[in-house]
Amino acid sequence: MNYESSKPTRGQLERLLSQRLQGLYREQLGHQPSKVTCQLFDEKLAVIVEDSITPPEQLLANTGQVELAQKVRSDLDKAIQPQLKALIEEVLSVGVLDLLSDATLETGRTGIIAVLDITPEVRNPEAIPKIKK
């Protein structure tokens, strides 16, 4: 096995990161998002977390306490950021220079952008052989 073939593909890294981030939300917030999508763009990572709003935040928003729900979400995002950063660095084996995140109570989505210090090393997926007719 050569060095190139031992590296994960971009898709494998994105899937592993999605699974690990979903687990982090479940462990730390007691709430499992329905879907986490990760996309690597050289030294940037975009993450979309679907259904990221916890039941207490939803309750606050639904009972007219939207400002308090937004404050709780903002505080939770700040509290979980060091763990998000560490997880991204562990899975991608690169440093995170900046981590930006925001959530929308109306849609229940959280968006996260990580600026990485270098592009993670990935192997290019092998070309799929064409089937001759």
> Which amino acid makes up residue 132?
K
The confidence score (pLDDT) of residue 124 equals: 76
29-52 per-position pLDDT tens digit: 889 999 999 999 999 999 999 999
What pLDDT sits at residue 71?
Answer: 94
Rg value, the chain, Cα: 18
Asked if residue 96 lies in contact with residue 89, where contact means CB atoms within 8 angstroms, the answer is yes
Quote the pLDDT of residue 5: 66
15: Cα separation from own chain's centroid: 10
Q: Report CA torsion sign: 102, 103, 106, 108.
A: positive
User: What global pTM score does this model have?
Assistant: 0.85
Domain definitions of the chain by residue range: 7-116
Write down the pLDDT at residue 125.
63
Which pair of structure tokens corresponds to residue 80?
């979980």
Amino acid 7: pLDDT: 87
**Edge to edge, what strands does the sheet with 96-104 contain?**
35-41, 44-50, 109-116, 96-104
Which residues of the chain fall below pLDDT 50? Answer: 1, 127-128
pLDDT of residue 130: 54
